[in-house]
Amino acid sequence: MGNPARVVIFDTTLRDGEQAPGYTLDVPGKVAMARALDALGVDIIEAGFPIASPADSEAVRQIALAVRRPVIAALCRTRSQDIEEAARALKPAERSRIHTFLATSDLHLRAKLRITREVCLESAVAAVRLARQFTDDVEFSAEDATRSDPDFLCLVIEAVIDAGATTVNLPDTVGYGTVDDTYRFFADLIARVPNADRAVFSAHCHDDLGLAVANSIAAVQAGVRQVECTINGIGERAGNASLEELVMAFRVRHDSLPFDTGVHSPALYETSQLLAQLTSEPVQANKAIVGRNAFAHEAGIHQDGVIKDPRTYEIMRPEDVGQPVARLVLGRHSGRHAVQNRCEALGLQLSADELAHVYNAVIALAEHRKAIGDGDLRRIVERLRATGVATHTTSVAS
């Protein structure tokens, strides 16, 4: 096997992610998040949609001033005023990208835009040419690409590459695709477009069917070398492909997914928590990679295995993604080994008799509590010893 292919991470947390209801950030919040994304190692930060509002334009400008390593991208429609506003906002950037988009599906052309295919093609080409007057890094997105006529889509892709687009993004805007669909879609288009080798192809998958990450991986396997994603998978409707899940899929399953990213994975949890703090939107407990239960174990059999060797139930280490050390949650499914392990971590050495009593008390309390905290455990042991049920405190072997 040759060297792993490099996949560009295009983070759109501050654009598509921030468009989701409840996730709006003010300018200082966007700059703080952009600094964290820079530290995380993403390649491109899509900082906003400048024409949308003066605040959005100012946020892009402030991020372009503050964050120098990654490419800073701004979204715009194919209208000249959009492109010019994006260029103004991006002017301070060390490296800038203008990202222009236009729908290509007949449904969008007819029902939303009310334009012909011919007008669509002309507008896309004109927009890319105008954007190239401001930067040599131009991305064109064919909105609703996966529901577009393939022949027409090939014409558009070839034309925008000829006009100077260096990245071609083909979004599954409504999250309709399946893994097989996505692989065939990209493999076919990349093979059919004669100048495909002159641009980077990009996938932007939505999670309406819960398939955004799987579809993004399928796209990469088909030849895509940029994935558009967000921290915590936030975004329109059900969200976007989750950055942390994509990065760790490539890392954990490098045997079958030989792709590398520039992301510093130990910063994933901290970045996820910052976004949750800035938006006041918590991460769901069972969210892969960054959820509080991602490395938590309550079932006794699992706890016993993890105590003996974490690899029995963990395919990555918490420290690989910056999570706190794996937690053994004490609840009604817990086993004796987990209770003993937690007591020893708290400096409480229990005899075999004490352990039996403490374990029974934990299970009884857990019938009325979701989880037993360290304070609960200390009180159980203190009450047990105060009543003199057992006085021998020799540590019990695992």
212 within domain boundaries:
yes
Say if residue 35's pLDDT is above 90.
yes
The lowest-confidence range among 12-16, 167-171, 359-363 is: 359-363
Identify whether residues 152 and 62 lie together within a single domain: yes
Percent of the chain surpassing pLDDT 70: 96
Report yes or no on 156 lying in a domain. Answer: yes
Cα distances from 90 to residues 46, 76, 95, 370, in angstroms, run 11, 12, 9, 49
Please state the rounded mean pLDDT for residues 92-117. 97
Domain stops at, among 279, 310, 332: 279
pLDDT value for 332:
79
In a shared domain, residues 94 and 240 = yes
Is the domain of 265 the same as that of 314? no
Mean pLDDT computed over every residue of the chain: 93
Domain boundary among 225, 244, 279: 279
**271, 343: one domain:** no
User: Do residues 252 and 129 share a domain?
Assistant: yes
In this model, does residue 239 exceed pLDDT 80?
yes
For residue 378, being part of any structural domain is answered with yes
Residues 269 and 242 both lie in one domain: yes
Would 285 be classed as within a structural domain?
A: no
Domain count for the chain, please give it.
Answer: 2
326 and 254 both lie in a single domain: no
| 274 shares its domain with 339 | no
Q: Is the pLDDT of residue 11 over 50?
A: yes
Q: From CA 200, how far away is CA 213, in angstroms rounded?
A: 19
The answer to whether residues 352 and 393 touch, using CB atoms and an 8 Å cutoff, is: no
Domain-ending residue, one of 250, 279, 308: 279
Do 318 and 370 lie in one domain? The reply is yes
Judgement on whether residues 272 and 305 belong to the same structural domain of the protein: no
Q: Which domain, by its residues, includes 354?
A: 296-386
Q: Is residue 248's pLDDT more than 70? A: yes
User: Do 97 and 232 share a domain, yes or no?
Assistant: yes
Give how far the C-alpha of residue 381 lies from the chain's centroid of Cα atoms, to the nearest Å. Answer: 42
- pLDDT band of 18, cuts 50, 70, 90: very high
What average pLDDT does this structure show over 194-201?
98
* 393 belongs to a structural domain: no
392 has pLDDT over 90: no
345 vs 58, higher pLDDT:
58
Residues 262 and 203 in one domain: yes
